[in-house]
Structure 1
């Protein structure tokens, strides 16, 4: 009987060890040097409003799709959705030995809101010991008007006077929410020493280099920024007391980049009102 128990324990340990070694790669975002020969054929984030309400709520569809031009060792997409300046939901998906990813969420919401989504698409490519990556960002913006004074409607860019009025109102509401973090940083840093932008604005640097940087340097900065955002924001925000809090309810991250490109800061206000400042040293200086 003792021998049987010993064999059982050995078998159990062996199974556990095999499971540990055979477990697939953990979902993560790690930046590696860009492979200029690899590109994304598709990288899209789309927000749309369903025409019919569900009881008293409306439904927003949020779809994230991407396709690499070849099979990658690891394909990963993450996406964040903000409403009136605060994070309301995230999406994340990864696949080994793949090139295509698609994600979709349907969210019930109410009240007029400015929705802003931004996604980071990455492929990790292995060639022996040489590891490279390919990356792209995508995003979308959607104004949804849900008011007893107007029919349910949505638009990306206002065209009518009514839409312009609503857009102006929602933009001001959003700016009021995110201003607290910006005002706190004004007390700490010399504003003129930093470039500043909000996370959804980062998408424009898919196609153009950042101020005073080459295209390659911009890609390095963007890749390292997303690696840091994934670990220290997307997965949870570390507060001053050491606890980890969900990013849901936090404000749109403010990015401050020192003009000599030695470092950057990411600033957000958590759902319970604490200002959190993340610092990242850049891999190059100008």
Structure 2
């Protein structure tokens, strides 16, 4: 329990004034959702987080993202976002690949305190065949907890085993939930959004809709919404957030984006609090179905 209290002392929540960063207009997307290719599929797609061991000022984890399509695609791209205790630590991607089926990305990350690491990845392929353009996509993730303390061995887990793991997971999860709750409350108050009119899902949980459907939507509609969502995430978040003054803000340090899907199925919001305290709020229309 002393280790848990030490963690709480190390990680604090900062209350800052929100300003608006708003991108609701039509933009040319780099990821483009085309009708799903019924013949193309990923042989494999994976995101993994692995504790390597002690480092000079803490410890190191390895972050890997890979995918193999069952054919070469006109365009291939994988991107991944890594959040530490609910804040964006790093992002990885690469130049668009033409006539490629395989992608592999990896990076080593150093951290000095106990933390939860959440990685969420989007694997995308655009295919051109017989004058028709289609696409296929997949979302993968990983979730790792690392306990680092001067009075106990370095330890990591994906799922808690034993009482101490469960206590640490509870404390770290509360820190993350409080950060996201605060970001949501600020946005609600600033932009008059009532979260009771929305289904609220963290971006890092969107992988679950690979095997199920979004509330109120069928499988095909879910795939289309996810594809268009990642169009917006890539253009307006991953590559940098455009402020109203035309400047580009680095998303590193921002909270995990919350996806707010309207109960009337007409639109969704993407909200996040940036490192400087500003708010990112994106709106996407959901075509009638």
TM-score range, shorter chain: 0.7 to 0.9
Q: Give the SS at the match of 1:158.
A: coil
Unaligned runs of 5+ in 2: 1-28
Report how many residues are paired: 258
Matched, 1:249 2:243: no
Deviation at 1:41, TM superposition (A): 1.1
Deviation at 1:37, TM superposition (A): 1.8
Superposed counterparts of 1:260-275, under 5 Å: 260-275=264-279
Q: Give the SS at the match of 1:143.
A: strand
Matched, 1:198 2:199: no
Q: Is the 8 A contact 2:187 2:279 kept in 1?
A: no
Q: Is the 8 A contact 2:141 2:204 kept in 1?
A: yes
From the CA coordinates, give the structure whose radius of gyration is larger.
1
Query: Which 4+ stretches in 1 moved above 6 angstroms?
Result: none
Partner of residue 76, structure 1: 77
What's the C-alpha RMSD, in Å, of the aligned pairs? 1.4
Moved more, 182-191 or 201-210: 182-191
Partner of residue 33, structure 1: 35
Counterpart pick for 2:144 among 121, 124, 142: 142
Looking at both structures, which has the greater relative contact order when contacts are Cα pairs under 8 Å and sequence separation is at least 6?
2
Q: Give the SS at the match of 1:81.
A: strand
TM-score by length of 1: 0.87
Superposed counterparts of 1:182-261, under 5 Å: 182-187=184-189, 188-261=192-265
Q: Alpha-carbon deviations, 1:214-261, whole Å to 9, x = none?
A: 100000000000000000000001234332101111110010000122
Deviation at 1:72, TM superposition (A): 0.6
Partner of residue 67, structure 1: 68
Unaligned runs of 5+ in 1: 1-26
Instruction: Provide the C-alpha distance between the structure 2 equivalents of 1:239 and 1:57, rounded to a whole number of angstroms.
Output: 35
Deviation at 1:129, TM superposition (A): 2.9
Q: Give the SS at the match of 1:64.
A: strand
Matched, 1:98 2:100: yes
Q: Give the SS at the match of 2:99.
A: strand
